[in-house]
Structure 1
Amino acid sequence: MDLVDALEFSLPLLLSSVSTYVLLKWWIPKSLLLGFKGRDMNKYGHPEVSEAGGIWVILSASISILVHITIATISERDPGILHLLATTHVLILSGLLGFIDDILGWKKGISPVARVLFTIPIALPLVAVKAGYSVIEIPLIGPLDLGLFYPLVVVPIGVVGASNAFNMLAGYNGLEALQGITILSFTCLFLLKKGVLELIPVILPVIASILVFYIFNKYPAKVLPGNSFTYGLGAFYASTVIYGNFERFGLLMFTLYFLELGLFMRGLLDGVYKENFGIPLEDGRLKPPYRKSYSVTHLALKILIKIRGRATEKDVVYLIFTFQAIIGLLGLWVL
């Protein structure tokens, strides 16, 4: 590895980690003074903590990717710069949309339907560069070339679906961050296995930024991620999946989110617009909020109570992490 390789790999990692740490240390007390605070719903009494910390992850990660692109450009290498710039734009736009929703306030901001509609233009940078490959493999049929249908329809659906899905399985200290770390880490291992190395230096700074955020967001959280984090990370992951042409692995890694959607639809059929949170007790335990399970978090609560006789917020997060890690290992094994 020469000096340029070392810089291209290490400088974005360092910048992402340091900038996330510095910005969060500044943001947490400042946000409380400015009123950017949210209720920690799985704690007894619902104490207030700093909100919308995810925007600094998005900002740090975006700058780090741009630094990677800059070094690659100066050294006259071509890691697919146009597509990486499109991916960066998607990350920034999705984070901005989420931050606007965070500013307007939980349940007072953008309506669920409007959120879905507003995430459609986020895919435009990928559409503009015709990201991805239009030929897809269909079981029992074989390869099928979708032509313009792929960038104009499939790509926007992927970005909208991933950004909104990642926002559905949330609400517990460290859950969104740990999910992001796990999914992106297994993706890097998959790309290494397949020899698709050009995306790894782009994903690693994002993982580094989330790791630093996790320090502040793990139980008991000092800062909550907000929609800027969930929208941004979901849209970023969809961009990398499209760019790297590993849709099957990407869909497999979102297994829990498909389950979350199914349980959400079950709730709608029962007339319940579910919340993921448990019912907090004074001793730190959580009770399931409904008789039926309408979220993966509800399933985790009931599994833990069945096995251990009690469930806590940390236990729920670690159990879901275990599920996600098993899915990741399965993906590495079979794909």
Structure 2
Amino acid sequence: MPPLALIASALIALIVGYLSTLWVINQAKKSGFVGKDINKINKPEVPLMGGIGIIAGFIAGSFSLLITDTRSERVIPAVILSSLLIAFLGLLDDIFNIRQAIRAFLPLFASVPLIVYSVGHSVISIPFIGPINFGIFYYVIIIPFALTITSNAFNMLEGLNGLGAGMGIIMLSALAYIGLTHKGATYQAGLIALIAVFSLLGFLLLNKYPAKVFPGNIGTYFIGALIGAIGIAGYMYTALAVLYIPYVIEFILKARTRFKGISFGKVDDEGKLYWDEKPHSLTHVIMKLGRFKEYQIVMILWLIEALFAVLAVYLQITTIII
């Protein structure tokens, strides 16, 4: 793909994502879609559903990519459709607070576009083992559950300014690097991952500490689904598994609370966060090491994810099968 065309698509994703998020901020304030930022002393009200801006930026960048690179005409629609279906789930959750059972299993149906796209490819290369052909189980079990896990797990580790968007940028950057250094479907998935990185960057400019907007469930579900869909479409399962290790730990911590635990902290008089109970989240694990400002905790978690991203790239580059 011509470098200038890719740069143009990435910039479109960045600009549209940023401007769309600004629009969401104004509209959310007018409509009363706000939530309290409880990690601050004064508990300010912050507009919700900023994930709409992420989606707008990603779609704009992806469509411009389709215009200049028709080879992506199967990969992009599959990723967009599956991600949007799960984003719709997040929107319903933001508005109606739907039941956990629905949140957990609706992604199974959202995997259909990815299943159709993947027909004819059922082989996964596993590190230290080699390629394994899973046959029909690849379509009816592996793809649906991979998308379900990636979308639901990503939603668990959230609650601090910029945390989810930054984690998503790191994870998608790893997938973009892997994809752009390979060929075929993996390369096409890498292109989409790069577009997603810039869309998230446009949002992060407004979501970073102190946040002017929250992603909402529509944002966290969409980011998680997008990471999963890109990894599935590009056959980067090893990378997905490694990138989600922090989220596996988060799942275990949340499971101890029967998924009623929170990721927020308690705020002292200096505006630093602490936690004096059993940890419900990785954020609490860091808080128990010392009292930090909110943005410092976020940066520590970003660093941890970056280390796993390096490991994911290292392990994945030798196992891709096209």
Query: What TM-score, normalized to structure 1?
Result: 0.87
**Superposed CA RMSD:** 2.0
Decide whether the 8 Å contact of 1:174 with 1:317 is kept in 2: yes
| Structure 2 Cα separation of the partners of residues 85 and 122 of structure 1 | 13
Residue 306 (structure 2) pairs with residue 325 (structure 1): yes
| Structure 1 Cα separation of the partners of residues 141 and 131 of structure 2 | 18
Query: Could you tell me which amino acid in structure 1 is paired with residue 13 of structure 2?
Result: S
Residue 146 (structure 2) pairs with residue 146 (structure 1): no
Residue 132 to residue 219, structure 1, CA distance change in 2 (3 Å): farther
Residue 15 to residue 131, structure 1, CA distance change in 2 (3 Å): farther
Q: How does 1:58-69 map to 2 (within 5 A)?
A: 58-69=55-66
Per-residue CA distance 1:214-256 (angstroms, 9 max, x = gap): 1110111000011111111111111111111111111101110
Q: How does 1:298-309 map to 2 (within 5 A)?
A: 298-303=284-289, 305=290
> 1:171 offset after TM fit, Å?
0.5
1:97 corresponds to: 89
Decide whether the 8 Å contact of 1:183 with 1:324 is kept in 2: yes
Query: Could you tell me which amino acid in structure 2 is paired with residue 286 of structure 1?
Result: L
Residue 136 (structure 2) pairs with residue 136 (structure 1): no
Decide whether the 8 Å contact of 2:243 with 2:309 is kept in 1: yes
Percent identity between matched residues is: 32
Q: How does 1:150-169 map to 2 (within 5 A)?
A: 150-169=138-157
1:29 corresponds to: 26
**Structure 1 unaligned residues grouped into runs of 5+:** none
1:276 corresponds to: 263
Per-residue CA distance 1:177-208 (angstroms, 9 max, x = gap): 11011111122223344454332321222111
Query: Could you tell me which amino acid in structure 2 is paired with residue 101 of structure 1?
Result: D
| Structure 2 Cα separation of the partners of residues 8 and 131 of structure 1 | 29
1:114 corresponds to: 102
Query: Could you tell me which amino acid in structure 2 is paired with residue 85 of structure 1?
Result: P
Residue 224 (structure 2) pairs with residue 242 (structure 1): no
Runs of 4+ in 1 over 6 A off after TM superposition: none
Decide whether the 8 Å contact of 1:99 with 1:227 is kept in 2: yes
Query: Secondary structure of 2:201's match?
Result: helix
Decide whether the 8 Å contact of 1:96 with 1:228 is kept in 2: yes
2:202 corresponds to: 212
Per-residue CA distance 1:285-312 (angstroms, 9 max, x = gap): 1121x52222111111112x0xxxx222
| Structure 2 Cα separation of the partners of residues 125 and 241 of structure 1 | 14
Query: Secondary structure of 1:136's match?
Result: strand
| Structure 2 Cα separation of the partners of residues 83 and 17 of structure 1 | 21
**Structure 2 unaligned residues grouped into runs of 5+:** 317-322
Q: 1:16 aligns with which of 4, 7, 13?
A: 13
Q: Count the aligned residue pairs.
A: 314
Decide whether the 8 Å contact of 2:176 with 2:192 is kept in 1: no
Residue 258 (structure 2) pairs with residue 264 (structure 1): no
Query: Could you tell me which amino acid in structure 2 is paired with residue 248 of structure 1?
Result: T
> 1:140 offset after TM fit, Å?
7.4
Residue 127 to residue 301, structure 1, CA distance change in 2 (3 Å): same
> 1:325 offset after TM fit, Å?
0.9
Residue 141 to residue 283, structure 1, CA distance change in 2 (3 Å): closer
Query: Could you tell me which amino acid in structure 2 is paired with residue 43 of structure 1?
Result: K
| Structure 1 Cα separation of the partners of residues 169 and 120 of structure 2 | 24
Query: Secondary structure of 1:129's match?
Result: helix
